[in-house]
Amino acid sequence: MAENRPLTTKQKIYIEGILQGLSGVRACMKAGYKGCESTLANVASQNYKKLYIKAEIAKRRAEIEAKTDINVLYIQKEHERLARLAEGKMDLATATRNKELLGKTLGAYIDKSLTIQVQTGRRPPDIGEVRRRDEEFMAELDCT
């Protein structure tokens, strides 16, 4: 059965990265997968579709939650509470940050790392170029 399949070293490191809160692309980079950002996004997507990897992530998250008594729902509620408090005090920067962190907890953001460009020494693209790439990336994921 797929759930009993042994994990490769890269898969184990990928899972560790996911559990540490890294995006799929960053977890793949950490695990040593090679390729450009779009290739790594595909690898991350393929990894996450594998039932035995999903099962391991779920098992490890359950272990962490049992040890710490903190789960995703608690974190989400806490960010919502802190955002409301900050809004009440008109501290919009803190409120915005908590809403961003809430979105990150929910998995609403896609990693837009410029790591590859930093490694190659190229300058980061202008904001228009970044938006164009983001739109292309989202179209590839069929998220638009």
What domain range is 15 assigned to? 1-68
User: Is there a domain that residue 91 lies in?
Assistant: no
User: Is there a domain that residue 11 lies in?
Assistant: yes
Q: What SS3 class is residue 48?
A: helix
Residues 6+ apart with CB under 8 A from 17: 26, 27, 28, 30, 31
Residue of 3, 2, 51, 54 lying closest to 24 (CA atoms)? 54
CATH number at residue 62: 1.10.10
In a 13 Å sphere around the CA of 60, the CA atoms on its Cβ side amount to: 16
Mean pLDDT over 21-33 rounds to: 90
User: Is there a domain that residue 21 lies in?
Assistant: yes
CA separation for the pair 68, 111 (Å, rounded): 27
pLDDT tens sequence across 103-137: 776 665 555 443 444 444 555 556 666 677 777 77
User: Is there a domain that residue 52 lies in?
Assistant: yes
Q: Is 0.85 topped by the overall pTM?
A: no
The answer to whether the beta carbons of residues 41 and 50 sit under 8 Å apart is: no
pLDDT tens sequence across 37-80: 889 999 998 998 898 998 998 898 888 777 766 666 777 788 78
The answer to whether the beta carbons of residues 37 and 25 sit under 8 Å apart is: yes
For residue 1, the model assigns a pLDDT of 43
User: Is there a domain that residue 27 lies in?
Assistant: yes
